[in-house]
């Protein structure tokens, strides 16, 4: 079950060109492409004539042309040309999904079209600030549900175990981190403080710290699948009165989890370097370190999904450090219930 009335990341804006691309989103086959004017569009990936997938066609002057018998559709899904006939039947159209290009993303709405309001899209202005926050991005296909990946980001006690050699460091630093949590309508925000702690390998590779450090991680989950992260670190004592304006290490991560099927998803993520923005080598290095760490997440979560598929999840036990994760799940369950109530009312 997915939240349907919500905006999901369908693709990075630079993934989509005039060459149609097939992507399954929330169990629906979608074709993404740019028309002759460069406008990005998302249609159901099935021609209304004989059902051929539209991604096998091509973009022409008037729209996307089906690769089977040449029907052409505009970005709203209306058929605008049928070879060999002048009259175009009213019903000759395919479903089109609202699609918005913003902050380097293409956001898609899989639910009720009347409810799609672009004002609800998560704003991520750092992607547009290459001077102060130069960034890099990519997408990992994951053989696990989007929810298991969000779970992973809501319980950071895994850092010391899964990422010991990269961003993690000592496990107990993470287990004992002081958590401050604020609930929001669409999810939650939490800050983890790890004051006077030993810097993890990734940090010492980036900055020559003299000794221990103060470390902070701020996470915001916004349903259905965005997690906005700010991580910062400075010499021990620096955060005695909270986060400072500038830290020796500060970077932002965007995580976007979009369901492909019930047990697979797309992991869109970016790293933005806010501590040595003028140094492109730092931007590269940050991306490389995080890319390696996220492959560690991918490995454990995909294996977890395989076990849950095989043996089910009825016997799983929640522990204290699951609090943020459980709140996230309750928010998602509430939104799914609201979706189905609205659908039943229609
Ligand atoms: S199936 Fe698309 S034109 Fe015939
Ligand atoms: Fe992780």
Annotate 102-142 with DSSP letters as a single string.
Answer: ETTEEEEE-S-GGG--GGGSPP-GGGG-TTTS-EEEEEEEE
Distance from the CA of 101 to the center of ligand 1, in angstroms? 29
% the chain with pLDDT above 90:
87
What is the CA(103)–ligand 2 centre distance, in A?
A: 24
Residue 328's pLDDT band, with cuts at 50, 70 and 90, is very high
As beta bridge partners, residue 220 has: 189, 228
Nearest one of 21, 23, 18, 20 to 9, comparing CA atoms: 23
CATH code for the structural domain at 125-338: 3.90.380.10
Please provide the size of the chain in residues: 346
Output the pTM of the full model.
0.95
Contact (CB, 8 A) for 52 and 64: no
Count of CA atoms in the C-beta half-sphere (13 A) of 263: 10
Instruction: In whole angstroms, give the CA distance from residue 241 to residue 323.
Output: 26
* pLDDT average, residue stretch 236-249: 94
Residue 175: the pLDDT is: 81
Q: Is 56 in the pocket of ligand 1 (CB under 6 A)?
A: no
pLDDT above 90 (res 206): no
Sketch the domain layout of the chain as residue ranges: 7-120, 125-338
Distance 302 CA to ligand 2 centre (A): 13
Among the atoms of ligand 1, which is closest to the Cα of residue 50? 1
From the CA of 53, the nearest ligand is 1
Structure tokens at 118: 């672009």
Res. 343: pLDDT tops 80:
no
Asked whether the predicted pLDDT for residue 66 surpasses 80, the reply is: yes
Confidence of residue 154 (pLDDT cuts 50, 70, 90): very high
The b-or-e profile of 252-274 (16+ CB within 10 A means b, else e) is bbbbbbbbbeebbbbbbbbbbbb
Band (170; pLDDT cuts 50, 70, 90): confident
CA 71 to ligand 1 centroid distance, Å: 6
Please write the tens of the pLDDT for every residue from 30-43: 999 999 999 999 99
Pairing of the two strands 264-273 and 135-142:
antiparallel
Could you tell me the pLDDT band of residue 48, with boundaries at 50, 70 and 90? very high
Task: Report how far ligand 2's centroid is from the alpha carbon of 7 (Å).
Answer: 24
Percent of residues, the chain, with pLDDT higher than 70: 100
- The predicted-structure confidence for 101-142, as pLDDT tens digits, reads as follows 999 999 999 999 999 999 999 999 999 999 999 999 999 999
Cβ-proximal residues to 89 (8 Å cutoff; 6+ apart), any chain: 79
Q: What is the pLDDT of residue 281?
A: 96
pLDDT score at 177: 84
Asked whether 332 lines ligand 1 (CB < 6 A), one says no
The verdict on the CB of residue 52 being under 6 Å from ligand 1 is yes
pLDDT value at 166 more than 80: no
As a CATH number, domain 7-120 is 2.102.10.10
Q: Which atom of ligand 1 is nearest to the CA of 51?
A: 1
DSSP state of 95: -
pLDDT at 275: 96
pLDDT value of residue 65: 98
- Shortest-distance ligand to the CA of residue 67: 1
What DSSP line would sit under 153-183, residue for residue? HH-GGGHHHHSTTTT---HHHHHT-EEEEEE
For residue 230, the cross-strand partners are 218, 252
pLDDT band, very low/low/confident/very high, at 2 (cuts 50, 70, 90)? very high
- The residue to which tokens 């750092």 are assigned: 126
Nearest atom in ligand 1 to the alpha carbon of residue 66 is 2
Gap between the terminal Cα atoms of the chain: 19
Nearest alpha carbon to residue 42 among 51, 52, 54, 30: 30
């Amino acid at each position: 079950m997915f939240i349907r009335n919500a905006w999901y990341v369908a693709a990075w804006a630079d993934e989509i060109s005039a060459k149609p691309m097939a992507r399954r989103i929330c169990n629906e086959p979608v074709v993404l492409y740019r028309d002759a004017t460069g406008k990005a569009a998302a249609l159901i990936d099935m021609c209304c004539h004989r059902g051929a997938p539209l991604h096998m066609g091509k973009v022409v002057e008037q729209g996307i042309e089906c690769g089977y018998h040449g029907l052409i559709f505009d970005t709203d899904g209306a058929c605008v040309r049928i070879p060999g006939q002048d009259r175009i039947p009213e019903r000759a159209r395919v479903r089109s999904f609202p699609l918005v290009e913003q902050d380097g993303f293409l956001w898609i709405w899989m639910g009720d079209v009347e409810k799609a309001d672009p004002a609800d899209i998560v704003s991520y202005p750092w992607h547009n600030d290459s001077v102060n926050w130069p960034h890099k991005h990519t997408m990992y296909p994951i053989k696990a549900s989007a929810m298991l990946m969000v779970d992973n980001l809501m319980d950071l006690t895994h850092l010391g175990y899964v990422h010991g050699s990269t961003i993690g460091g000592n496990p107990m630093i993470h287990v004992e981190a002081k958590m401050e949590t604020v609930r929001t309508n669409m999810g939650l925000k939490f800050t983890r403080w790890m004051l006077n702690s030993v810097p993890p390998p990734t940090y010492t590779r980036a900055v020559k710290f003299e000794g221990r450090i103060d470390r902070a991680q701020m996470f915001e989950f916004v349903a259905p699948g965005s997690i906005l992260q700010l991580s910062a670190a400075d010499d021990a004592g620096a955060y005695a009165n909270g986060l400072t304006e500038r830290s020796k290490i500060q970077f932002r991560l965007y995580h976007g989890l979009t369901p492909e099927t019930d047990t697979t998803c797309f992991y869109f993520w970016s790293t933005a370097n806010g501590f040595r923005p003028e140094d492109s080598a730092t931007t590269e290095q940050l991306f490389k370190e995080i890319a390696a760490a996220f492959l560690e997440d991918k490995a454990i979560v995909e294996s977890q999904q395989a076990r849950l598929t095989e043996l089910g999840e009825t016997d799983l036990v929640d522990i204290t450090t699951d609090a943020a994760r459980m709140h996230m799940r309750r928010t998602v369950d509430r939104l799914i219930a609201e979706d189905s109530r609205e659908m039943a009312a229609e």
